[in-house]
Copies of this chain bind each other. A is one copy, B any other.
Amino acid sequence: MTETFVIVGGDAAGMSAASKAKREDPDLEVVVFEKGQWVSYGACGLPYYVKGEIQSLEHLVSVTPEEFREERDIDLRTGHEAVAIDPDDKTVTAESDGGRTVQPYDQLLIATGSESVVPPIDGTDLEGVYTLGSMSDGKELREYVARARDGGTLQQPDRGPACRYLEDCAGPVGIVGGGYIGVEMAEALAANGFEVNLFQRGDRVLKGFSDATSDAVADHLREQDVALHLGADVQTLSGDDRIEAVVTDDDRIAVEMALLGTGVRPRTGLAEDAGIELGETGAIATDTYRETNAPDIYAAGDCAESTHVVTDEPAYVPLALTANRHGRAVGQTVTGQPTDGGAIAGTAAVKAFDVEAARTGLLDHDDARAAGFDPVSETITANSRAGYYPEGGTVTITLTADRETGRVLGASLVSKFGEGAVHRSHAIVAALTEAAIVSDLENYDLAYAPPFNTTWDPVLVAAKVLSGHVQ
């Protein structure tokens, strides 16, 4: 009898699983319930869509629903919201305009993703307040930008980034949260001529990165005329129908729009209702094969926990590669080839205007101590290319290791855009995944030529300096 693999959620994890399962076992029946109309899209591209560098939302879609249905023979049902899972009867109930479906499964993947966190303050429901978690969010925000142009709010709509040098530049906007979305959207909105205010509760942006990276990005945001409000506790979004101001503990900044970039949380309601256990992080707990406590029910992507490669403990870091990787692994596992999708290192990259940054592993010393390490960090700044090579800049790297064993625990890197902070982080991801020690990393025979680095690549310089501080 044909087995049925049912998937709830048609984005990265879900569609990776569907495609892989079907490729490994063409006889498998694969059914996907997606409540929206978009599947398999690159949400990470939304800031560039709003910025105007990507012309159509369709460009963010890697495979269309038609291709999944026709070329990959996947029974993809968009506009179908899964509303209940019965682990005993092994069914999923979904609702659509056409009514209610009760779909039996042999194996089930929950890939319900994450949702934007809306902070518990007044005014978040005012007109002109946005989040950027979904394609429809992106569409609304781009429409706002277009209206601001057309309606004359932006008096120099065609000037783009140069607008900030003009006295009649208009359109102050507020971004609440200085994480990835916050800094990427600062670039996107400034490029469209808005005066950008960025509000961050803590004392630095990109708090998962090192202080040195945060400082470099903050300095650059200020250079780009972003008004950075650090240590700003946003208390209210104020206005009648439309937002008029962001009110913090000690200031009131007039804005015409506000974007909430205050993080995401796993969408776990459907799983919880079915008695599936969450982990300490609040996301769905799984084993290394992404199977939940309920037999034959898997969870992957932004709704699920992963295992951290350094701590070997559960971790929740909802990012695209993990969703793809774990979805794909589940797709292979359900065809009878148990596949461990691998641990995560909490690696992330971001571009903000003309800087790029990456982070990986354990950086925070309290986190490292909680995981049983004795962390030590060093920060170096080194030339990104040979000093005599015309062009280039510097790369600043914070490298963290365990003092006793020398094990590489984490890193944070920042450089001018194009000077290689992000691609250089790849070597450190490799090192910490392989549980390398600092003196191993110091001796890696990395590629060298004057247009690309100094004889000792900045990664090696960081390892060399740090190795003097471990035993």
Contact = CB atoms under 8 A, between A and B. Distances in A.
A386 B321 contact: no
A442 B340 CA distance: 11
Contact of A423 (B180, B423, B433): B423
B388 A59 contact: yes
The copy count of this chain in the complex is 2
B320 A455 contact: yes
Interface stretch (A29-37, A238-246, A348-356): A348-356
A453 B427 CA distance: 15
Interface in A177-219: 180
A76 interface: no
Contacts of A459: 426
Given A430-B431, A447-B426, A455 B12 contact: yes
A344 interface: yes
Contact of A321 (B341, B345, B445): B445
A424 B451 CA distance: 15
Contacts of A54: 388-390
A256 interface: no
B448 A440 contact: no
B446 A426 contact: yes
A445 B356 contact: no
A449 interface: yes
Interface stretch (A41-49, A101-109, A115-123, A271-279): A41-49
Q: Interface residues of A toward B: which range?
A: 35 or more
A324 B464 CA distance: 13
A269 B433 CA distance: 45
A56 to B, nearest CB: 9
Nearest to A358: B447
B445 A345 contact: yes
- A321, A349, A417, A423: which has the most chain B beta carbons within 10 Å? A423
Given A347-B447, A390-B54, A445-B429, A422 B452 contact: yes
B360 A445 contact: yes
A450 B388 contact: no
A453 B351 CA distance: 12
Across the A-B interface, give the 10 residue pairs with the lowest CB-CB distance, nearest first. Answer: A342-B443, A430-B430, A423-B423, A426-B427, A349-B447, A434-B434, A349-B449, A345-B445, A59-B388, A358-B447
Given A319-B448, A343-B443, A356-B452, 15 more contacts: A42-B388, A45-B389, A48-B389, A59-B388, A321-B456, A324-B456, A343-B445, A351-B451, A360-B445, A420-B420, A422-B449, A426-B447, A430-B430, A433-B444, A434-B434
8 contacts: A44-B449, A54-B389, A344-B445, A345-B445, A348-B447, A422-B453, A426-B426, A426-B457
